[in-house]
């Protein structure tokens, strides 16, 4: 158990690689099937981004690692928000082309803006 806690703390207090329980999608049968495939790609994309941030955090000094932990927390929140949506049409419309959707979600968060400002301040 302590190993799991240590890993969670090392990763900024956020464990994103486990797939949460997903709500049943609503829509037509065809929409549900299509959105289910898209939603699984969304899960994979959030996990990929989380793994990249977690790997980067291991190479950072303590100050930057703390900032990366904030970004991981933002990522976890956004992931929960997106995956809590049960409308098939949402996934079809919004996530059919994933592209840089996850990056945009993070970038729009006010906490990320604070991290960016803090990074700028330390570079001066």
Identify which has the larger pLDDT, 23 or 19: 23
Burial label, 14 (beta-carbon count in 10 A; 0-12, 13-18, 19+):
buried
Query: Quick check: 53 pLDDT over 50?
Result: yes
**pLDDT at site 9:** 47
pLDDT reported for residue 90:
98
Cα gap 39→107, rounded to integer Å: 21
How far is 74 from 83, CA to CA, in rounded Å? Answer: 14
Which of 82, 53, 84 shows the shortest CA–CA distance to 69?
53
User: For 30-40, what is each residue's pLDDT tens digit?
Assistant: 999 999 999 99
Q: How confident is the model at residue 118 (pLDDT cuts 50, 70, 90)?
A: confident
Q: Predicted confidence band at 121 (pLDDT cuts at 50, 70, 90)?
A: confident
- Is the pLDDT at 13 greater than 80? The verdict is no
């Amino acid at each position: 158990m302590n190993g799991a806690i240590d890993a969670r703390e090392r990763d900024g207090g956020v464990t994103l690689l486990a797939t949460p329980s997903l709500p049943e999608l609503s829509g037509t049968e065809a929409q549900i099937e299509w959105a289910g495939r898209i939603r699984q790609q969304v899960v994979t994309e959030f996990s990929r981004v989380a793994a990249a941030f977690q790997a980067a955090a291991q190479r950072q000094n303590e100050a930057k690692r703390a900032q990366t932990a904030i970004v991981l927390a933002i990522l976890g929140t956004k992931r929960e928000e997106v995956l809590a949506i049960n409308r098939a049409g949402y996934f079809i419309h919004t996530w059919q082309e994933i592209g840089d959707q996850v990056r945009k979600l993070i970038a729009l968060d006010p906490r990320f803006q604070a991290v960016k400002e803090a990074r700028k301040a330390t570079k001066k």
